[in-house]
Chain A
Amino acid sequence: MEKITGAQALMKSLLREGVDTIFGYPGGAIMPVYDALYDYKDSVRHVLVRHEQGAAHAAEGYSRLAGKPGVCMVTSGPGATNLVTGIADAMCDSIPIVCITGQVTGEALGTDAFQEAPIIGIVTPVTKWCYQITNAAEIPHIVAKAFHIATSGRKGPVLIDITKDAQFELCEYDDSIQTVMLKSKHDPYYQKKLKRAAALLNNAKRPYVLFGHGIALSKAESELAQFIEKGGFPAASTLLGLSSLPKSHQLYVGMLGMHGNYGPNKLTNKADVILAIGMRFDDRVTGKISAYAPQAKIIHVDIDYAELDKVIPAEVAIHADAKEFLAQLTPFIKSKNHSAWIGRFRKYDEEERKVVADAELYPKSGEIRMAEVVRLVSEKTKGRAVIVADVGQHQMVAARYYGFETPDSYITSGGLGTMGFALPASVGAKIAGPSREVIAIIGDGSFQMTLQELGTIMQEKLSIKIIILNNRHLGMVRQWQEMFFEERYSFVHMENPNFNKIADAYSIPNELVQDRRTLSPALERMLSAKGSYLLDVMVRRDENVFPMIASGAGVDEIRLT
């Protein structure tokens, strides 16, 4: 068999996994792989990010739209450590990404060599799996294993660290060992539990379906819709579940959690049977755990059995893939109509609209509100754009007011809450979904954490629309200081640079919007522009996001003011 280098074996292995895009940043310890990549310029698109954290977030954004793992590749030491935030983010949100890091030579390992970091030791707690390759012959099998682990069961990030000598080493490329055996859990009571779940739901007076990211991850959107339509069940979404059911769906009742909608939270404590699927009862969803749905019989379905009974004890705990489970459950569900029960959600909607939404969606005077910007974007794109939101008030406002109509349309950092996520994630999203309108909605604080990725957008000529909701503050922290820390505003004001000049420097057309009359025309110009476009929108500086479940309060203590 002809011998090739480890670096060439890595490229062949990646191609075998269907990789056509790599987000990366070269450096000393990964140079042999970059040299091999040079020969694959036509089949692999390498996107040169401006900071390795951006590579990890871009891989996440790519994965969310492509439905396959995003791949990032960086050098050893600081290159690898800069990935960590993105890896931890992918771990929290179950996003499959494959990270490849260069490493110093096998001989230099553990000697504090130049740009050596013990990356396996650093990322072990925040990866699903990681492995250090010190010998080229391992490469085909380890790459196959990495992709399999990243995408099977509960998805997540994996990391392969490759020493520089293994990249140079000659090996026979043997890809015959592709089988990866992972243990699988077989539940002998599965059928029984399925029927018990159906019986509970069929006999429920006030049934309630809660769905999360698991729906999008298993592509169960149509199964979910068929299931709730048959049973007439109201359904509420977690932050990462958004867009898995169209907001206009008659059975969709809103978002759960700290800044979710009024009714979905209030009525969590009135439902008699709750089916929670593809969600993990995050503390931002449950509020005070002891006050969470004590009256309800809970059916919890998750692909990760370690999530079952972790936070909220379930009456029926089912370890299953959301898509398969829903397809099997629906035939047992009786056609019903729960209009009186759903009417209670609508009543709360009305109250929320009157007290909170109307004023911020349709203000007549004063400074621009975040909500009206999101409303206009939603109307002008008919709810069909991909919204990539960063972390903070703007993220909650985008979640609350964008009218998602199509799946995979809300990409944001949920579990880890990583500021700086949106701009690089939008790069990955646009590359995975070039035909979709990708709109990054970012706060002024978050934008400044990763704004160097404007360079990537410029170089790759990506048509990404960027809206900065600029309140000159770290708004969410400011809100908490106002509400819970006696208005002691401690380091939340930001003196910002001129974002328009920054955009100019990257040749990205841009506008500053300070006045309500110019907002809608500016959005029109942004959306009709061919390439990327940045809008810096000055919004009210002391806005608070409501409804809100205060930290430590129960879901039914949600406040409108």
Chain B
Amino acid sequence: MKYILNIKSENAPGTLYRIAGLLLRKKINIESLHVKEIDRKHHISHFTIEIFLAPHLMAKLIKQIDRVVEVTHAEYHRAP
């Protein structure tokens, strides 16, 4: 199943690396990736990541991403 992850985080070095590491741990390939600061005042970045993953693993993965200290919000939905 193809999913789109929407993640908000502190705009800090290493956050993308930490999230990518969680994907790597499960050998998940990144199909597409977009990162941009969306809130300059609070230094918040927004990630859009497309991945393929079995549905039963998606809910577990998003919690592990959400657990990252720098991440302020993480959600996913099925890609159209």
Contacts and interface: CB of A to CB of B under 8 A. Distances in A.
A125 B67 contact: no
A305 B63 contact: yes
Interface in B29-80: 59-60, 63-64, 66-67, 69, 72
B14 A306 contact: no
B2 interface: no
Measured as residues with beta carbon below 8 angstroms from the partner, the interface class of chain A is 10 to 19
A306 B25 contact: no
Given A124-B17, A125-B21, A125-B25, A306 B66 contact: yes
Contacts of A308: 63
Contacts, number: 29
A182 B68 CA distance: 10
A182 B64 CA distance: 16
A149 interface: yes
A129 B69 CA distance: 7
B9 to A, nearest CB: 11
A124 B60 contact: no
Contacts of A465: none
Contacts of B18: 124-125
Interface in A98-157: 120-121, 124-125, 128-130, 132, 149
B14 A309 contact: no
A304 interface: yes
A412 to B, nearest CB: 25
B69 A124 contact: no
A304 B67 contact: yes
Contacts of A517: none
Interface in B1-41: 13-14, 17-18, 21, 25
A306 B64 contact: yes
Interface string A295-316: 0000000001110111000000
B21 A309 contact: no
B69 A149 contact: yes
A124 B67 contact: no
A342 to B, nearest CB: 35
Contacts of A129: 69
Nearest to A185: B66
Contact of A182 (B17, B59, B66, B69): B69
Given A305-B63, A306-B64, A306-B66, A121 B72 contact: no
Contact of A310 (B14, B21, B60): B60
A128 B69 contact: yes
A183 B9 CA distance: 11
23 contacts: A120-B14, A121-B17, A124-B17, A124-B18, A124-B21, A125-B21, A125-B25, A128-B69, A129-B69, A130-B14, A149-B69, A182-B69, A183-B72, A305-B67, A306-B60, A306-B63, A306-B64, A306-B67, A308-B63, A309-B59, A309-B60, A310-B60, A310-B63
Given A125-B25, A310-B60, 14 more contacts: A121-B17, A124-B17, A125-B18, A128-B69, A132-B13, A182-B69, A304-B67, A305-B63, A306-B63, A306-B64, A306-B66, A306-B67, A308-B63, A309-B60
